[in-house]
Structure 1
């Protein structure tokens, strides 16, 4: 049975945050910059502060006109090459036009700021108010992408009253959150660019369009505060705040709010939910919403059903629990066991004078059927792993690939030959075009992007270990099978002149390919076993060379007569 959390900890987390110095430090520096009359009167300004030797604060503020009098089109979501690194295979990334305009207007200055921050030590806080907070978020994303900060200097972005800056693509691409957004229930700016209307936050309408929140939200009222990270609930609450705050835009004193919240957190002055909910998780969520000024009556007025919200959060928790269970130690242990079984299977067929590729192709024993079962499990696992990389931003995906690339390469070299054997064993043709899975192509592409050409020392090292290597090209046997088909076509009475020329050209290319693999010690000795498909091809090809009138001199002849025993004996 899948478990869900017993309690909701949003109030406790909120109290912990407001009682800490980090959030007060961030707002203090924003306030200092806002009072600085010597700063240039540009739409967005920033300043670097050093409140202590081990803490650096970069504060951003924008002119009030940017939010109080928004221009037509400022709320549009638009693509930007500056944030292409966040794109995924499934969803494009678009940014709020107003925030993007402010960010690009300071791009040169911010490029210099990035260089300056490479030298700092300790905690880095990126913070901003209103649209200055939007610019702070975009700048933090660029810092995370550039990966230029010292290892122990990870940025934390804290915004105050900042509008949403992106859609579903941005929300989906940020898989490690470094963002905390502080929002007062009296501040309409966070919902500035949201469309009017009262659609439920958990409805299926427009799930992948429009503005979407990301990171953690600290929602505040005169009664207290609570943290939320459920994006649908956050979106619904921001819409309610935006629609209910009367009198247009006004200054919200986040400094005063933080002082009151800190006192309240220390004194534990929080309301109680009573006996309305026996379930502690439901009770906790109700208390958190009431703490920030949202009772059930107000929520229902805006078509937000608290029971639906709770059910959605419980389902998310179940899915997360199941995901963690599926990707836990038990699953990883099974993967290791199955790879060990494949290694054993690879070594065993040599007593039949053929490698595991040909043994699996003919499927002459029950063991072959068992191998088919656990190779399918491995393939499902790696397809999912590759899909995860595709859903991540480029930089994060690159880190992920580096961590898993070796294991993925061993899997590809071990398992893909089995798929090739099954394909040609059933009479298939042109595996590369008609059958090869996309996840194999990507694993190979990432490996080739990462690996460097072998040096002479590395070749010498490979030569010493050649007796135990895996064939490096996981599609080697597909090339062998196509070469066999070309030989058979050449010997066929129905072979046309054009087909013959094409088949011969393919065989010459294959021969060159084989010699390259041999010279780089990139093929396993098992290809030379007497009953292997490679030796079948060589028998056909050698006989064709001996009988035809073509003057072609095969570079493989001398190697097959002498070199194979010397290097692979």
Structure 2
């Protein structure tokens, strides 16, 4: 068992390194980076090779000396700029962001990317030195654009940088992992290159040449790298550490920080001007050598550790620390394939909780009180049956929260959120259990303390499952009209919309302001049309139509109010509409 475990520990990094070494991607990107460096300042070059487009940014840039970090521009990066829950705002280096925005605002850049999107299946962004940071932000912008503007766009995005400086904070790194984009970034780093290791030290506006300045920056970088807790800048994506003896890939941020320190401490002549030509040229040869050398070791983990230490020139007195660092990094995230299998087992174990809630829904739908699933749980008493259902609701919530935590801490495979098994299971869980979450929210009066559920009470996991479901590959069968009512209402927030509409009716009666009153009436009317459409399309469960359900209460109250006021409403074109369970 231990040998099997060890065999997986270098799987991700070895796969990425072997893939890049076996393709012309790194070599072509570096060649284009050299061209960009030779051109004018603030330039970039683009080239098409087959169905792959390369875009490389010049590393010869004037960058202001600054320690400032700012949030990403919402108009450019959209939803990605939002903070990661519990981690704070997503922040990036202000001068580097400003430099990228100067490219982004140019008509030439927009036209070039537009051509790439039309003609290519893949785009590789690259950059040397400061140009690498611009390449990273360009790749991030394009990934965000594809996700929001064209989620089904087939183009793939890869970013390869050479000696790029740190770019953002830990929330920035975590947000990229959360979106499963960490595999889209590979940063090639030489052992004696200062720029990737300066972290929060100020960037220079020109090349550093004096030995005194090199020594000062070298000592500053060592001090900051050694104490990772003080680092305001954080690695993201994959780092490929290169030397004359080979290359090693790492994807764990803590391990990357440690190895940035260890490899620099082993370097004899730190500099800010490194020629990556030799490293790139020897990359393929070194990976072939590494693969053939594994036969001399008992496991691929042992071979991987030995190769990493030899490649990076780690000194003997630092060998133990480096080995512990690598081993710890592998335990945190690996073996991901094995973790996937464990999650499948855990999903099977938690399924009885889901089955008991399904049984409870059927019981409520068939019950003579005609309350239905949602209202029966909302008005429940102290019965053992409802107590058990509530406990199952909480257990299922904990399971899915733990699954999301594992995914966001990079302990599961990068395509985990696209696996049909979990996309379907998470959506079924959302449709089955979120009505109970809504019922509990309004039953306990939280809407009076925090506001209505959708804006103020909805858990992040449900929003994430919306995104998973929206990004799935749809089949033709989903367009087929229904011939009977759905087993589960297809808008998991339907009951929250009902509760909100009922509150609007009560607000209309008490509202003195004519403008505010008209706005509330239009919102109620819009929901009534939305709900009627779902009923006509049979996208609701039978509990919605139960005689004593909250939805029927809404219809009665709304009918009485319309009759009382004899409403003649103008077309509500300027009010938000509902579609597919989401507010637009």
TM-score by length of 2: 0.65
Tell me, yes or no, if the aligned pair for 2:36 and 2:59 is still in contact at 8 Å.
no
Equivalent residue number for residue 58 of structure 1: 55
Equivalent residue number for residue 205 of structure 1: 229
| 2:87 pairs with 1:87 | no
Give 1:158-197 correspondences, 5 Å limit.
158-175=160-177, 176=181, 177-195=183-201, 196=220
Equivalent residue number for residue 563 of structure 1: none
Equivalent of 1:231 in 253, 260, 271: 253
Residue 205 of structure 1 aligns to a residue whose secondary structure is helix
Equivalent of 2:26 in 12, 19, 23: 23
Equivalent of 2:65 in 54, 68, 72: 72
Deviation at 1:369, TM superposition (A): 4.1
Deviation at 1:154, TM superposition (A): 0.9
| 2:63 pairs with 1:48 | no
Tell me, yes or no, if the aligned pair for 1:417 and 1:474 is still in contact at 8 Å.
yes
* Cα 1:379/1:32, change in 2 over 3 Å: closer
- CA deviations over 1:147-203 (Å, ceiling 9, x no partner): 169844312211112222222122111122211111222322322445416459686
Give 1:121-160 correspondences, 5 Å limit.
121-147=120-146, 151-160=153-162
Deviation at 1:210, TM superposition (A): 1.3
Tell me, yes or no, if the aligned pair for 2:55 and 2:124 is still in contact at 8 Å.
yes
Tell me, yes or no, if the aligned pair for 1:183 and 1:217 is still in contact at 8 Å.
yes
Distance in 2 (CA, whole Å) between partners of 1:54 and 1:537 is 59
Distance in 1 (CA, whole Å) between partners of 2:248 and 2:498 is 60
* Cα 1:404/1:431, change in 2 over 3 Å: farther
Give 1:289-300 correspondences, 5 Å limit.
289-297=309-317, 299=318
* Cα 1:86/1:13, change in 2 over 3 Å: closer
Distance in 2 (CA, whole Å) between partners of 1:282 and 1:379 is 39
Residue 236 of structure 2 aligns to a residue whose secondary structure is coil
* Cα 1:379/1:265, change in 2 over 3 Å: closer
* Cα 1:180/1:471, change in 2 over 3 Å: closer
Distance in 2 (CA, whole Å) between partners of 1:480 and 1:55 is 51
Q: How many residues align?
A: 491
Distance in 2 (CA, whole Å) between partners of 1:480 and 1:96 is 45
Distance in 2 (CA, whole Å) between partners of 1:153 and 1:251 is 34
* Cα 1:521/1:260, change in 2 over 3 Å: closer
Distance in 2 (CA, whole Å) between partners of 1:29 and 1:518 is 56
Any gaps of 5 or more consecutive residues in structure 2? 202-219, 471-480, 511-516, 568-584
Residue 56 of structure 2 aligns to a residue whose secondary structure is strand
- CA deviations over 1:29-73 (Å, ceiling 9, x no partner): 2234445xxx4x3x32111123x333322122222x74xxx7532
Equivalent residue number for residue 99 of structure 2: 102
Deviation at 1:225, TM superposition (A): 1.8
Equivalent of 1:372 in 372, 390, 404: 390
* Cα 1:513/1:417, change in 2 over 3 Å: farther
Deviation at 1:293, TM superposition (A): 1.5
TM-score by length of 1: 0.66
Tell which structure's C-alpha radius of gyration is larger: 1
Distance in 2 (CA, whole Å) between partners of 1:165 and 1:33 is 20
- CA deviations over 1:296-321 (Å, ceiling 9, x no partner): 32x37xxx823541452243036957
Distance in 2 (CA, whole Å) between partners of 1:471 and 1:23 is 46
Residue 118 of structure 2 aligns to a residue whose secondary structure is coil
* Cα 1:99/1:245, change in 2 over 3 Å: farther
* Cα 1:432/1:319, change in 2 over 3 Å: farther
Deviation at 1:406, TM superposition (A): 8.8
* Cα 1:163/1:423, change in 2 over 3 Å: closer
Deviation at 1:13, TM superposition (A): 5.6
Equivalent residue number for residue 474 of structure 1: 495
Distance in 2 (CA, whole Å) between partners of 1:444 and 1:310 is 35
- CA deviations over 1:317-362 (Å, ceiling 9, x no partner): 369578535542x444466654454343223343444434565545
Tell me, yes or no, if the aligned pair for 2:69 and 2:94 is still in contact at 8 Å.
yes
Equivalent residue number for residue 257 of structure 1: 279
Q: Is 102-111 or 342-351 further displaced after alignment?
A: 342-351
Q: Is 336-345 or 92-101 further displaced after alignment?
A: 336-345
- CA deviations over 1:61-110 (Å, ceiling 9, x no partner): 222x74xxx7532x543334144543343332222234223322322132
Give 1:216-227 correspondences, 5 Å limit.
216-227=238-249
Equivalent residue number for residue 8 of structure 1: 10
Q: Is 230-239 or 15-24 further displaced after alignment?
A: 15-24
Deviation at 1:250, TM superposition (A): 5.9
Distance in 2 (CA, whole Å) between partners of 1:480 and 1:78 is 40
* Cα 1:285/1:268, change in 2 over 3 Å: closer
Equivalent residue number for residue 281 of structure 1: 301
- CA deviations over 1:512-549 (Å, ceiling 9, x no partner): 9997788556586657868x5769989x99xxx9xxxx
Q: Is 12-21 or 88-97 further displaced after alignment?
A: 12-21
Distance in 2 (CA, whole Å) between partners of 1:306 and 1:171 is 23
Deviation at 1:111, TM superposition (A): 2.2
Deviation at 1:11, TM superposition (A): 6.3
- CA deviations over 1:248-305 (Å, ceiling 9, x no partner): 6464332223334444445669989999xx88635532431221212232x37xxx82
Distance in 2 (CA, whole Å) between partners of 1:514 and 1:101 is 43
Tell me, yes or no, if the aligned pair for 1:429 and 1:482 is still in contact at 8 Å.
no
Deviation at 1:443, TM superposition (A): 4.7
- CA deviations over 1:460-490 (Å, ceiling 9, x no partner): x78x74697749632489689999xx9xxxx
Distance in 2 (CA, whole Å) between partners of 1:353 and 1:269 is 70
Equivalent residue number for residue 502 of structure 1: none
RMSD: 5.4
Residue 43 of structure 2 aligns to a residue whose secondary structure is strand
